[in-house]
Amino acid sequence: MFLAEEGIINAVQSLGSPLLDKVFVGITQLGNIMFYIVLISLIYWCFNKKTGFKLFCLILFLGYLGVFLKNVFKTPRPDKSLWRTEASGYGFPSCHATVTTGFWSYILIFLRKKWITIISSVIIFFVAFSRIYLGVHFLIDIIGGFLIGGAVALSFYYLETKVRITLKFYQKILVCIFVPLVMLAVSMNDSTIQICSTLFGLSIGYLLENRTVNIQTGVKNKTRVSRAVIGLLLVSAVFLSLSILPSHLDFIQFIILGLTITFFAPVVFSKTDKIFK
């Protein structure tokens, strides 16, 4: 089976060129979970905090599920001689395909606009195609990621529209602690530690921000631009400064990353918004 699928990769790569290699290396970044962290941060700061937080939960769960399933199935990637970019871990399912399909499927279901459907479909297709073109995934890995991502998006949308649970503040805090710990108990490795640490930081920050600062997102475009620039600079500075931590303390870096996005950045905005009204 793997030989037949490598034949598909060879056929796709036969149409390539050095220029296309660079193009698809760029396109494949649209399936990177950190790309979505940045994108959703902008939604959270500038448009809608509640929707932004839900998208953070969705994208991190998709990333976690992809890593978990990789370690369950433990299928190999294509031979390294086919690789045109770096990759790590097992093959099935493709996390890029899972995350991309899940995010954009939810967006098109949530917004239900034709132009969003077209854009979402194009991004899903080209990210998936890039993984085959770059030689780091078999077709079955892509199909699996597509089906898993789509199923999670549909389930997530159904649950948020049909299920309503009211919790007190301290109960929400306990959930923010309990859920990442359970996820780590099920699957603990470098990737899941980073994902669960980020989820914990984002969740605690979201609760604290709503209870204290509670910035509003219905602001002028000038304020939105200032938030985007200041927020991205702040998050980048914090994340890079914490990269000096030893690898066994990575979880601190990702907890603070989450807290910075959902709490510390809004604290800063509460001051800078007065300047950029």
Domain ranges of the chain: 1-164, 167-272
* Residue 161 Cα to chain centre, angstroms: 22
d(C-alpha 138, C-alpha 64), whole Å: 20
DSSP 221: H
Instruction: Determine whether 96 is an active site residue.
Output: yes
Peptide bond connecting 93 to the previous residue in cis, omega within 30 degrees of 0: yes
Which candidate in 137, 145, 187, 253 is catalytic? 137
Residue 178 DSSP SS3: helix
Which candidate in 96, 149, 176, 207 is catalytic? 96
Q: Say if residues 217 and 48 touch (Cβ distance below 8 Å).
A: yes
Instruction: Determine whether 248 is an active site residue.
Output: no
Average pLDDT, the chain: 93
pLDDT 10s per residue in the chain (277 long)?
Answer: 555 578 889 888 888 888 999 999 999 999 999 999 999 999 999 999 999 999 999 999 999 999 999 999 999 999 898 999 988 889 999 999 999 999 999 999 989 899 999 999 999 999 999 999 999 999 999 999 999 999 999 999 988 877 777 888 889 999 999 999 999 999 999 999 999 999 999 999 999 999 999 999 999 999 999 999 999 999 999 999 998 988 889 999 999 999 999 999 999 999 998 887 6
Q: Say if residues 39 and 230 touch (Cβ distance below 8 Å).
A: no
Q: Is 25 exposed, middle or buried (0-12, 13-18, 19+ CB in 10 A)?
A: middle
